Amino acid sequence: LLRSEVPEHLARECPEETVKSLIPGCKTEMKRQLLGAHLTEKEAEHRELIEKCERRGARAVTVKFRDFEKRAASIEKGWALESDFFHFQGARLFLQLFPKGGVTAREGMASLYLVREGTPLDTFRCSVQVVSGQQCTLSHPGEGKEDESAAFSVKGCKYGWPNFCSFEPLLSAARSTEEGNLQFHLKVFRIESPEPLIVDGYGPARLPGRGG
């Protein structure tokens, strides 16, 4: 293993590296090789944590793309970087970033999507900010507001921005961190379509002289 490959090995592969549980709200840390056993042994507890998370109306998430400059250097238009999974209201989600743009992006523009694994994402939305140093920049609202730059994919399993921003601000944001990580702050929420309220019937009889 080359010295230059050690950080990547520790971040994604090393069985001896200490990692956190993948379940929201579970603060357990263990060696990566024990993660599978942990998820199996604590299934009931994890189900309770996920149900608790599902009762929340929205969830704040920070997503990091490690060593972004190095990874983006070999990326071509139409190629994506994908974050690890996180859970919200029963959905398994991840962030998909096309540093040089998706196939429909304008030249020089990066594309960014919130993706739900395998199933439609029609009721999910997110607002997103890029973290640059100690500040958040490049905000896209989401949050129930009309955002003309946002769009669904053809398959309906992802929602986001085909022309999120140009590549240079993303690179600058990653360079502003000591580790070279590109960070996004998300607020993920669900848009519900409430059932219509139907009023069928008369109210109580009114005595003469009361009311209109």
In the prediction, which pLDDT does 54 show?
A: 55
Question: To the nearest 5 percent, what fractions of the chain are helix, strand and coil?
Answer: 20, 35, 45
**CA 34 from chain center: how many Å?**
26
In the prediction, which pLDDT does 39 show?
A: 80
Burial (CB count within 10 angstroms: exposed 0-12, middle 13-18, buried 19+), residue 210 = exposed
According to DSSP, the β-strands at 182-190 and 124-132 are: antiparallel
In the prediction, which pLDDT does 154 show?
A: 41
In the prediction, which pLDDT does 143 show?
A: 40
Q: Where are the alpha helices (DSSP H) in the chain?
A: 6-12, 35-41, 43-54, 68-73, 167-175
Burial (CB count within 10 angstroms: exposed 0-12, middle 13-18, buried 19+), residue 152 = middle
Rounded to whole angstroms, the Cα distance separating 23 from 29 reads: 11
In the prediction, which pLDDT does 91 show?
A: 81
Rounded to whole angstroms, the Cα distance separating 168 from 80 reads: 16
In the prediction, which pLDDT does 117 show?
A: 78
pTM for the structure as a whole = 0.62
| Alpha-carbon separation of residue 36 from 15, 27, 28, 46 (angstroms) | 11, 15, 13, 13
In order along its 212 residues, the chain shows pLDDT tens digits of 566 666 666 566 778 888 887 776 788 888 888 888 888 888 888 777 766 655 556 778 899 999 999 999 988 999 999 998 888 877 888 999 999 999 888 899 999 998 887 766 667 777 888 888 656 555 665 443 444 455 544 456 788 888 888 999 999 999 998 889 999 988 887 765 545 545 655 555 545 554 44
Show the tokens assigned to 117.
């694994």
